[in-house]
Amino acid sequence: MIGDYATGHVVNLYALIAHSYAGEHEQAIAVLPRIPQLYWLNSSLPAGRSYLALGQLDRAGELLNRAWDGRLWFSGPQMYEEQRALRTMLARFYLGKLAYARGSRADGAEHLRYFLDHVGKGASPLAQVAEARALLAQ
């Protein structure tokens, strides 16, 4: 019974992640209420991305800041599967996009430059690198 309960939460977490990265933002947000606090750090980046894509900037900011602040949290062994460095850098990228969406180009550029300084040197397979460079070039 406990295994079924825990499995359901993990399935919901990965459904949220899958929907978010597939661009199915409404579906991603629909799953979010079924994810317990234990998984909030893992769900904050994809949920924040989805809220940003849907134009819900305040909620996006809350979750993206949680994803960025997550670099300071060491909550236990359930975090082993999370790629903390990449999640942290992607949080900076999406915080930059959020700042641009709010009309704060200076703050947005600061986030994007930080992101590029850490993951954007040379050729990168991350689509976010090209997007950050394009936003800064505007």
Q: Please tell me the predicted confidence (pLDDT) of residue 69.
A: 86
The number of beta carbons lying within 10 Å of the beta carbon of residue 52 is 21
CA distances from 122 to 2, 50, 119 (A): 47, 28, 9
Specify the CATH architecture of the domain 1-82.
Answer: Alpha Horseshoe (1.25)
Residue whose pair of structure tokens reads 């200076």 in the numeric block = 106
Give the pLDDT of the chain (138 residues) as one tens digit per residue.
Answer: 456 667 878 899 999 999 999 999 999 999 999 998 888 888 999 999 999 999 999 999 999 999 888 777 665 555 544 457 788 899 999 999 999 999 999 999 999 999 999 987 877 788 999 999 999 999
CA gyration radius, the chain? 15
For the chain, give every domain's residue range: 1-82, 84-138
pTM for the whole structure: 0.79
Report helix, strand or coil for 17: helix
